[in-house]
């Protein structure tokens, strides 16, 4: 590196060398970090009154970083979670630089003093069983697109998969036995951090996927759009939202919920919990690294809370009639 103080070469090394070669992070993570820096650098350049290519590392000061984070929330309307995600990318860049340039350790320490912002803990949205059934019944199964859409919705509900995970499933990841009632169908899902998990499939899901893939090659993606191209995670989001709008008039309660592929993922976890599965099984099903992430589902299910409350409810006792109020002597004697 010609000038170790220049920021540009460090950014290139961070994105290409560190994230790809050293860490082998998922493509979506790489894009997220790239987008954070793509938003940050013009803001810093404007404040420093320099071209982006002439910025030095120390131009990312704590004041400018805080101004950037405030702009994300106030001007771009980003949520606190998005703000924290952008800040995590900048912290990671600072750590990368300081480990390779000891003279910038102090600068790294200052950047990392900018804290993450605590946001409100919102309830996890999920669909009740009748709502989920209505969503699954929404596609027109008489058309090829309706069959594809139903297969996508059922796969999301069956596997509890993220939209990006469903979009990346290839035919070779499926294990669809010839005798569905005897052998267990399954799918290998590539999750966050390139972690794989094996998820069982219902016989009905396996049958739909078998019809959907036909005789296509194992290297092809399972879910394709109308042009025969792989369905993207954005396409899956649009698909779910389209059918959610279709069934909302029949279920007004859904109007208060932002129904997305992740809502279906939460629905899978909640329904698994209601069926009596333990939290650790659900953790493996969804591909969570930490059990604490899965524990949120134990807090959101009002049906299970109501059942737990009813099991320890104190029954109201009927007041006993005082003997002085009993005008009949025989009745009084019989009740003694």
What is the C-alpha separation between 287 and 189, in angstroms, rounded? 9
pLDDT at 180 (0 to 100): 58
What is the C-alpha separation between 72 and 89, in angstroms, rounded? 14
Left (φ > 0), alpha (ψ -120 to 50) or beta: where does 49 sit? Answer: left
Angle at 282 between CA 278 and CA 284, to 5 degrees: 120
DSSP strand pairing (196-201 vs 185-190)? antiparallel
pLDDT at 312 (0 to 100): 47
What is the C-alpha separation between 64 and 50, in angstroms, rounded? 14
Q: How many CA atoms lie within 13 A of 144 on its CB side?
A: 9
Q: Which of 265, 266, 271, 283 is catalytic?
A: 265
pLDDT at 196 (0 to 100): 86
Q: Which of 18, 148, 162, 271 is catalytic?
A: 162
pLDDT at 280 (0 to 100): 74
One digit per residue, pLDDT tens: the chain, 336 residues?
467 789 999 999 999 888 888 887 778 888 899 999 999 999 999 999 999 999 999 999 999 999 999 999 999 999 898 999 999 999 999 999 999 999 999 999 999 999 999 877 666 788 999 999 999 999 999 999 999 999 999 999 999 999 999 999 999 999 998 765 677 899 999 887 778 889 999 999 999 999 999 999 999 999 999 999 999 999 999 999 999 999 999 998 888 888 999 999 989 888 888 887 777 777 777 877 665 556 656 555 555 545 544 544 445 555 555 545 556 666 656 665
Q: Which of 86, 148, 262, 266 is catalytic?
A: 262
265 catalytic? Reply is yes
DSSP assignment of 82-144 = HHHHHHHHHHHHHHHHHHH-GGGHHHHHHHTTSPPPP---PPPP---HHHHHHHHH-S-TTSH
pLDDT at 315 (0 to 100): 54
Q: Which of 192, 210, 237, 257 is catalytic?
A: 192
Ranges assigned E (strand) in the chain: 174-175, 185-190, 196-201
DSSP 8-state secondary structure symbol assigned to residue 156 = H
Domains and CATH numbers, the chain: 7-111 (1.10.150), 129-309 (1.10.443.10)
What is the C-alpha separation between 172 and 61, in angstroms, rounded? 49
192 catalytic? Reply is yes
162 catalytic? Reply is yes
For 147-199, how does the pLDDT look when each residue is reduced to its tens digit (9 = 90+)?
A: 999 999 999 999 999 999 999 999 999 999 876 567 789 999 988 777 888 99
Q: What are phi and psi of 271, to 5 degrees?
A: -70, -35
237 catalytic? Reply is no
How many CB atoms sit inside 10 A of residue 148's CB? Answer: 21
């Amino acid at each position: 590196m010609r000038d170790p103080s220049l920021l540009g070469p460090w950014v290139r090394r961070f994105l290409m060398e560190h994230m790809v070669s050293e860490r082998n992070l998922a493509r979506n993570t790489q894009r997220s970090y790239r987008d954070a820096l793509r938003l940050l650098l013009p803001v810093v350049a404007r404040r420093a009154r320099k071209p982006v290519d002439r910025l030095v590392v120390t131009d990312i000061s704590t004041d400018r970083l805080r101004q950037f984070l405030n702009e994300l929330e106030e001007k771009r309307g980003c949520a606190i979670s998005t703000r924290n995600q952008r800040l995590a990318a900048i912290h990671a860049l600072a750590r990368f630089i300081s480990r390779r340039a000891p003279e910038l350790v102090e600068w790294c320490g200052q950047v990392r003093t900018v804290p993450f912002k605590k946001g409100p803990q919102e309830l996890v949205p999920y669909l009740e069983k009748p709502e989920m059934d209505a969503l699954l019944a929404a596609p027109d199964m008489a058309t090829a697109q309706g069959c594809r859409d139903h297969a996508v919705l059922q796969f999301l509900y069956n596997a509890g998969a993220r939209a990006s995970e469903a979009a990346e499933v290839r035919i070779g990841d499926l294990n669809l036995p010839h005798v569905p009632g005897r052998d267990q169908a399954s799918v290998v899902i590539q999750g966050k951090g390139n972690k794989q998990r094996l998820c069982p499939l219902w016989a009905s899901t396996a049958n739909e996927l078998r019809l959907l893939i036909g005789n296509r090659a194992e290297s092809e993606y399972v879910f394709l759009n109308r042009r025969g191209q792989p369905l993207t995670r954005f396409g899956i989001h649009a698909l779910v939202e389209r059918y959610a709008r279709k069934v909302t008039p029949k279920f007004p309660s859904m109007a208060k919920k932002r129904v997305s592929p992740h809502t279906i993922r939460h629905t899978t976890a909640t329904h698994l919990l209601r069926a009596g599965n333990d939290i650790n099984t659900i953790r493996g099903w969804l591909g969570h690294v930490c059990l604490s992430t899965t524990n949120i589902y134990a807090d959101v299910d009002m049906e299970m809370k109501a059942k737990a409350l009813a099991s320890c409810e104190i029954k109201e006792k009927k007041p006993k009639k005082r003997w002085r109020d009993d005008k009949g002597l025989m009745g009084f004697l019989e009740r003694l």
